[in-house]
Amino acid sequence: MIHKFMPKEYDFFNLFERQVGFAVDAARYFKQVILSGKIDESVLQRIRDLEHFGDDVAHAIIDQLNKTFITPFDREDIYALVKELDDVVDMINTILGRMVIYKLSGVNDHLVKFSVMIDDSVNALALAIKGLRSMKNSKPVLDACVEINRLENEGDALRNKVLAELFEKEKDPIMVIKLKEIYQDAETLLDICEDVANVVESMLVKQA
Amino acid sequence: MIHKFMPKEYDFFNLFERQVGFAVDAARYFKQVILSGKIDESVLQRIRDLEHFGDDVAHAIIDQLNKTFITPFDREDIYALVKELDDVVDMINTILGRMVIYKLSGVNDHLVKFSVMIDDSVNALALAIKGLRSMKNSKPVLDACVEINRLENEGDALRNKVLAELFEKEKDPIMVIKLKEIYQDAETLLDICEDVANVVESMLVKQA
Amino acid sequence: MIHKFMPKEYDFFNLFERQVGFAVDAARYFKQVILSGKIDESVLQRIRDLEHFGDDVAHAIIDQLNKTFITPFDREDIYALVKELDDVVDMINTILGRMVIYKLSGVNDHLVKFSVMIDDSVNALALAIKGLRSMKNSKPVLDACVEINRLENEGDALRNKVLAELFEKEKDPIMVIKLKEIYQDAETLLDICEDVANVVESMLVKQA
């Protein structure tokens, strides 16, 4: 009888890991696409699929949350984690969608750098979330969060550098409009990863 | 004596319906203005009036919330509903304000399509909110939310199509800057309607 | 023993005043820089320092919040206040960073007007936050909030005027891209001040 009020912690952990898993897949695919320089309508379908898989897990987590009396973390933190993880894949989808609309094919070295940083950051996120299982050893979680913060700072500096170069060298205003938006989006993606890391850190602190 | 702690559900329902009513008026007026192609300073006053009427109802809801011990819905959902409904009229005001600043008069067929979708979406919102009164029959609310989601997806596709066309055909970069912003705003308005629908669905689920 | 559950109100008040103090310093420095028209990499370091000092106070407030059982205000309002105050200095940093990237040196009369309004608004914020100490006399807080709202409305009108002028007179599309973003950012800064004022008002109302 009391069983239904017991914390279903492992279910939440499994679900979080599945949701971040789709973000990992999306970031890896994003890097591959940017490295190939072949961005067309066909790549969007794969990201949209990953987005829908992630949505399904997100809904499962919210359902579980509505049914569970005792949760391993603050309910608002669980909501925030689900929403921010969703934003990661959403932003990858937005960037690739815009590149298709703007017909931005071809390898862009700045975007290659961003895509590597984004892939690294999402992988660190997956480590941080995996680390939530063993609260007694918080070092792996904190290390991953530090790495995500470092990548966000590096992304800031990269965006400033490439925008300064864009405004100095590019004479076609329409190309400025396109690339400015894409570079800013790429940096925003690293910001979103940092937002997820902040939620994870907050979960850790409250458990301590 | 106990009366002051009783749920004042009907007051909340009346207030929600009055607030969404001003959004319905604003969306209908927006469609008329876009269809007429006559967008000047004089149209802004009417939207600003509707915005202020909506603000007054929003304040009345928050006041009621601060005074009421038992509410028919989660307090945070009520806050979210009030805020998102406010954002609907706010965004209509922002779009028309920008069109005046950019001197974008004349009928634009893409914007006409957006304005019809926005009007449909806000009308569906009004139905969803009206449906919250009779919790025993959730079908009208859910049907309206499905329609709002459908319109948001259609709006996404329309924005992608019109932006691709804009970047392909328009050679004046300043016109690209102006129309890109207006088309993105129009799609954001459909996103905001979807956000309201999500709050309404969440209210419904928690009552079930 | 009971002492540890006692409200540590004065600590929170001190911390809020210290955090808004860094925003006041940042707004004053912003005005000086805009008036001088000399915006280069060297000015960014000072704003970044103020941002870091503010971050340290923000962390101290969150720590205190996690340790304190009874707080002088709603926990979510305290979180919101800390976050929004952080956004003020962040936005000043963003604007100056963009001006460096865009090489926008020289005195711009419109930006001078904005910088004076921003400085006034952040000073009114500091007064509102200081006023939270003496709940019995809410007039200084409310007066400051009215002033912040007035400045936000004035900022809206100024942004509309300068954007209309920009689109009418500036023929270089790349300059339009740069200045449009900076003017919109400056107005957003006044919006953020209004958001802080709304949190402060909400704190006041709940105490009444």
Closest CB to C177: pick one of B66, B102, B177.
Answer: B177
Min Cα–Cα distance to chain A from C144, Å: 32
Q: Which residue in chain C is spatially nearest to A203 when comparing CA positions? A: C66
The amino acid present at B76, given as its one-letter code, is E
Contacts of C63 (CB under 8 A, 6+ apart): none
pLDDT at A5: 47
Cβ burial, residue B200 (10 Å; 0-12/13-18/19+)? buried
Contact (Cβ atoms closer than 8 angstroms) between residue B147 and residue B190: no
Contacts of C64 (CB under 8 A, 6+ apart): C8, C11, C12, C15
pLDDT at C1: 38
- C38 pLDDT more than 80: yes
B173 vs A173: CB contact, 8 Å cut-off? yes
Residue B2: inside a domain, yes or no?
no
Instruction: Please compute the mean of the pLDDT values over residues A127-131 and round it to a whole number.
Output: 95
- A130 pLDDT more than 90: yes
Closest CB to C101: pick one of A164, A176, A205.
Answer: A164
pLDDT at C204: 87
Lowest mean pLDDT among A6-10, B33-37, C19-23, C204-208: A6-10
A177 vs C178: CB contact, 8 Å cut-off? no
pLDDT at A6: 44
Partner A contacted by C2 (CB < 8 A): no
Residue B1: inside a domain, yes or no?
no
Partner C contacted by B106 (CB < 8 A): no
Model ipTM?
0.89
Per residue in A93-112, pLDDT (tens digit) is 999 999 999 999 899 999 99
Distance CA(C197)–CA(C148), nearest Å, equals: 7
- C173 pLDDT more than 90: yes
pLDDT at A15: 93
Distance CA(C78)–CA(C55), nearest Å, equals: 15
pLDDT at C208: 65
Partner A contacted by B157 (CB < 8 A): no
Mean pLDDT estimate for chain A? 92
Q: Is C170 left (phi over 0), alpha (psi -120 to 50) or beta?
A: beta
Per residue in C141-170, pLDDT (tens digit) is 999 999 999 999 999 999 999 999 999 999
pLDDT at C89: 97
Residue C1: inside a domain, yes or no?
no
- C190 pLDDT more than 80: yes
Distance CA(C13)–CA(C130), nearest Å, equals: 8
Q: Which residue in chain B is spatially nearest to A177 when comparing CA positions? A: B177
Residue A78: inside a domain, yes or no?
yes
- C61 pLDDT more than 50: yes
Higher per-residue confidence, C204 vs A168: A168
pLDDT band at A2 (very low <50, low <70, confident <90, very high): very low
Per residue in A43-65, pLDDT (tens digit) is 999 999 999 999 999 999 988 88
Determine how many CB atoms are found less than 10 A away from the CB of residue A205.
Answer: 12
- Closest to B30 measured CA to CA, from B186, B146, B184: B186
pLDDT at A62: 87
Contact (Cβ atoms closer than 8 angstroms) between residue C135 and residue C204: yes
Determine how many CB atoms are found less than 10 A away from the CB of residue C98.
Answer: 17
- Closest to A126 measured CA to CA, from A75, A196, A190, A195: A196
Closest CB to B174: pick one of C164, C173, C205.
Answer: C173
Q: Which residue in chain B is spatially nearest to C160 when comparing CA positions? A: B101
pLDDT band at A41 (very low <50, low <70, confident <90, very high): confident
Residue A1: inside a domain, yes or no?
no
Residue B192: inside a domain, yes or no?
yes
pLDDT band at C11 (very low <50, low <70, confident <90, very high): confident
Contacts of C128 (CB under 8 A, 6+ apart): C140, C141, C144, C145, C148, C196, C197, C200
Contacts of C110 (CB under 8 A, 6+ apart): C158, C162, C183
Residue A2: inside a domain, yes or no?
no
Min Cα–Cα distance to chain A from B43, Å: 30
Contact (Cβ atoms closer than 8 angstroms) between residue B47 and residue B29: yes
pLDDT at B90: 96
Min Cα–Cα distance to chain B from A175, Å: 10
- Say how many CA atoms lie within 13 Å of B99 toward its Cβ: 28
pLDDT band at A10 (very low <50, low <70, confident <90, very high): low
Distance CA(A15)–CA(A53), nearest Å, equals: 12
B173 vs A178: CB contact, 8 Å cut-off? no
- Closest to C175 measured CA to CA, from A182, B173, A156: B173
- Closest to A114 measured CA to CA, from A47, A162, A48: A162
Residue A174 with chain B: CB contacts under 8 Å: 167, 173, 176
C102 vs A177: CB contact, 8 Å cut-off? no
pLDDT at A71: 83
What's the first-to-final CA gap in chain C, in angstroms? 30
Q: Quote the number of domains for chain A.
A: 1
pLDDT at B1: 38
- B48 pLDDT more than 50: yes
Mean pLDDT estimate for chain C? 92
Residue C163 with chain B: CB contacts under 8 Å: 101
Distance CA(C186)–CA(B150), nearest Å, equals: 36
Q: What is the CATH number of the domain that holds A201?
A: 1.20.58.220
Per residue in A193-208, pLDDT (tens digit) is 999 999 999 888 877 6
Distance CA(C118)–CA(C30), nearest Å, equals: 9
Distance CA(B180)–CA(B159), nearest Å, equals: 9
Closest CB to A101: pick one of B163, B173, B206.
Answer: B163
The two tokens of residue A24 are 């990992």
Residue C2: inside a domain, yes or no?
no
CA dihedral for B182, B184, B187, B192, sign (positive or negative): negative
pLDDT band at A25 (very low <50, low <70, confident <90, very high): very high
Q: At what angle do helices C173-207 and A173-207 cross, to 10 degrees?
A: 30
- B27 pLDDT more than 50: yes
- Say how many CA atoms lie within 13 Å of C79 toward its Cβ: 5
Distance CA(C85)–CA(C60), nearest Å, equals: 14
Q: Which residue in chain B is spatially nearest to A96 when comparing CA positions? A: B160
Instruction: Please compute the mean of the pLDDT values over residues C177-182 and round it to a whole number.
Output: 98
Per residue in C81-126, pLDDT (tens digit) is 999 999 999 999 999 999 999 999 899 999 999 999 999 999 999 9
pLDDT at A208: 65
How many residues are present in chain B?
A: 208
Instruction: Please compute the mean of the pLDDT values over residues C166-181 and round it to a whole number.
Output: 98
Distance CA(B24)–CA(B20), nearest Å, equals: 6
Contact (Cβ atoms closer than 8 angstroms) between residue A57 and residue A18: yes
- Residue % of chain B over a pLDDT of 90: 77
- B186 pLDDT more than 90: yes
- Residue A133 domain boundaries: 7-207
CA dihedral for C175, C176, C181, C187, sign (positive or negative): positive
- B118 pLDDT more than 70: yes
The two tokens of residue B63 are 């006041």
Contact (Cβ atoms closer than 8 angstroms) between residue A183 and residue A162: yes
